[in-house]
Amino acid sequence: MGSALLSIGTRALTANYAKLQTISNNISNANVAGYSRQDVLLETSKGQFSGAGFFGKGVTVVTVTRAADKFLTAESASTKATAAMDSARLAQLQGLENVFPTGEDGIGYSASQFLNAMVDLASNPQDLSARQVVLSRATELASRFDNAATQLDTLQAGVSADLKTSVDTVNQITANIARVNQEIAKVNGVGHSANDLLDQRDQLISQLSQFVQVTTLPAEDGTLGVFMAGGQRLVLGNQATNLAVAPDTMDSSRSAVGIMEAGGGLRLLSQDTFTGGEIAGLLRFQNTDLVSARTGLGQMATAISARVNEQQSLGLDLRNPPGSGAPIFAVSGPTAGNASTNAKDAAGNFLGNVSLTVTDASHLEASEYDLAADPANAGKYLLTRRSDGLVRSINNGDTVDGMTVNVTGSPAATDRFLLQPVTRAANGMKTVLSDPKGIAAASPVAATVNVNNTGTAKVDALTVVNNSINPAATASFTFGAVNGSGVDYSWSLFDPATNTTTTGTGTWQANQPISLNGFELQLKGVPTNGDVITVAPTEFPASNNGNALAMAALRDEKLVGQRLNGTTPAGGSNITDAYASLMSSVGVAVQGAKTSSQISSGVASTLAQQLASKTGVNLDEEAAQLMQFQQSYQAAAKILSTAQQVFDTLLRAAGA
């Protein structure tokens, strides 16, 4: 009887001590990240049968359990991955926002200052100081474009560096998960959970979720398989698969993330493989936000440089003798690259190549393009505009969106090409005109109104619009009778010897220019029968401001992003509106990312709190249990003391 009481007391003492030890461990690890509250599972020992019934034999320690919730653990990791993705993209977008400042620091303001300088030049076209101001403004504008492009390059370099750091961290974490898996598998057969190892593995998966979103799959041996979206294996058993950063197959200036295969090769993964985590946020910023900013900047740089150079070429400069204006700006040209996986010959040269030619800068889109063979039409190609996904089937040599696409060689059916008509245009943009006298402020032709005219018609503007003009020819317009809302006129072109070369008729309409010989003549007032207006070669180019006024008018011309409605240009923006639109799009992206980050961070924080409340340590609760089992331990010790006294009494009785 005494031995049974002693056994019960010993078991009670052991059970209560186990409880006290576990509670103390919980209190010690209350502030340790990833620690799950542990508890001792007790059960009543099997009773002993006697003639008087079953007598209890005390308590048995079954095992030590951990508070765990698979659903909350998985959801917490998933929401953490989403929050990390949104946070990483937001941080990069805030850096991108600084590339496009507002006010006087912006490209739009600098473009306005350059074109406004043309107004000052038009007031005094012979003034060399005014001409120098024009060149200074042009240099400043080109510098701002180039500086913005350089900042975008810096952001790209930062993204590549961050991707490498993130991938290195992922590889370290997956290696640790594989190691912990092995340790768990070793103790899996003993019938008890390795609580601390399971906590460590859950914490590692939570850390991994900050960089990539993963799913897990438990195995019978206690290990946990870890996979990315699309079934890409990161950890299986005690084996981890490494990720690596490599140049993108389509554009080597960008980075892509790949997975190391068993044979040692690297297989690059699609951006869609990464659905959460910092890596997903960085890739989305690089491949979407940064590209959009680059193409928008390049579109503006190409459009304004091409249009200014075009108008400059239509005027006369201040040299002696006067000549056509030389280009003011230079930008980087369009590029078209092969995918690194495209077919090559024995010497390593690509079998097919693509080149681009800008035919009309005002029609260029702020986009990149994918080009591949059209499987449904032999000899044709599918051109996909990345900005909106528009797909068109084109022939070699077709002109699309202001560019001509030329394919050379014999590309394979599976070859792919990346077309970048404006992506790098702003890089290295500069002024190539250094002589102030080289600014073509004068128009090659000038208009005069016959002194004997009786109508109210005056010359509002005379603008040379293309290089088809023959600046040596003289045009004479003689107005006749009213025709509806307009006035009929006849015209004649004369060569320098005053010989008539061509003649024709037309009808003048208010607010509509008269187009002839590469120029447009805009009138204000109304001509009457017999009125004559003459457009002749400029006699004194040094004092003529016609082309300076035409360049100043570019402030309001919709020279960026026009689209063709059939053969008619439609839409588009002037340079300041285009810059404002680019700033706005970046600002909207920042605000959207900020909202997404706030929401996803809030959800992740809520899930983390729910998980902590379910699996974490409550110090008040642990303190209460500590007192409870301290008393139980003392009571168990009293049982042993009582058993000892009973045993001693029996011995004395037996000895008597």
The predicted structure's pLDDT at residue 19: 86
**Is residue 374, in this structure, part of any structural domain at all?**
no
> Of 537, 567, 600, which residue sits at a domain end?
537
User: How far is it between the farthest Cα atoms of the chain?
Assistant: 159
Cα 280 to Cα 70: distance, rounded to the nearest angstrom: 25
In a domain, 564, yes or no: yes
Q: Look at residues 254, 59, 14 and name the one whose alpha carbon lies nearest to residue 153.
A: 254
Q: What is the mean pLDDT of residues 424-453?
A: 94
Q: Is residue 372 part of a domain?
A: no
**Judgement on whether residues 590 and 510 belong to the same structural domain of the protein:** no
Instruction: Say whether both 252 and 163 belong to one domain.
Output: yes
- If asked whether residues 517 and 644 sit together in one domain, one would say no
Domain final residue pick, 537, 567, 585:
537
The answer to the question of residue 387 being in a domain is: no
The two tokens of residue 304 are 């304004």
Cα of 436 vs its chain's centroid, Å: 41
Task: Return the pLDDT at 50.
Answer: 73
Average pLDDT over residues 301-315: 95
Gap between the Cα atoms of 110 and 147, Å rounded: 13
Residue 126 is assigned to a structural domain of this protein: yes
SS3 of residue 403 by DSSP: strand
Report how far apart, in Å, the C-alpha atoms of 379 and of each of 372, 391, 455 are. 11, 16, 61
Residue 62 scores a pLDDT above 90? no
* Residue 643: per-residue pLDDT: 78
**Out of 166-170, 408-412, 418-422, least confident range:** 408-412
Give pLDDT, residue 69. 87
Domain total in the chain: 3
Could you report the per-residue pLDDT of 568-578, keeping only the tens digit for each? 788 899 999 99
pLDDT bin (cut points 50, 70, 90) of residue 243 is: very high
pLDDT tens per residue, range 105-163: 999 999 999 999 999 999 999 999 999 999 999 999 999 999 999 999 999 999 999 99
**Mean pLDDT, rounded, for 530-556:** 92
Mean pLDDT to the nearest integer, 161-172: 97
Q: Are residues 137 and 62 in the same domain?
A: no
- Indicate if 433 and 488 belong to the same structural domain: no
103 and 227 both lie in a single domain: yes
Contact between residue 174 and residue 241 where contact means Cβ atoms under 8 Å apart? yes
Could you give the CA distance from residue 513 to residue 511 in angstroms, rounded to a whole number?
7
What local confidence, expressed as pLDDT, does residue 656 receive?
A: 56
Model confidence at 2: pLDDT above 60: no
Please indicate, yes or no, whether residues 521 and 564 belong to a single structural domain of this protein. no
Q: Check whether residue 554 and residue 634 sit in a common domain.
A: no
pLDDT(189) > 80: no
Please tell me whether residues 48 and 138 are part of one structural domain: no
523 to each of 28, 191, 446, 510, 541, how far by Cα in Å? 91, 99, 13, 8, 22
Same domain as 194, residue 134: yes
User: Taking the model in full, what pTM does it have?
Assistant: 0.88
Domain-embedded: residue 25: yes
| Burial track 307-340 (b if 16+ CB lie within 10 A, e otherwise) | bbbbbbbbbbbbeeebeebbbbbebbebbbbbbe
Residue with tokens 């070793």: 186
CB neighbours of residue 477 within 10 Å: 23
- pLDDT recorded at residue 443: 92
Q: Considering the chain, what is the average pLDDT of its residues?
A: 91
Write out pLDDT tens, residues 592-649: 999 999 999 999 999 989 988 888 888 888 889 889 888 888 887 888 888 778 777 8
* Whether 43 and 85 share a structural domain: no
Domain C-terminal end among 515, 537, 559: 537
In this structure, are 575 and 651 located in the same domain? Answer: no
Residue 373 lies in a domain: no
Report if residue 453 sits inside a domain.
yes
Domain that holds residue 12: 2-67+616-655
CA 201, CA 596: separation in Å to the nearest integer?
A: 29
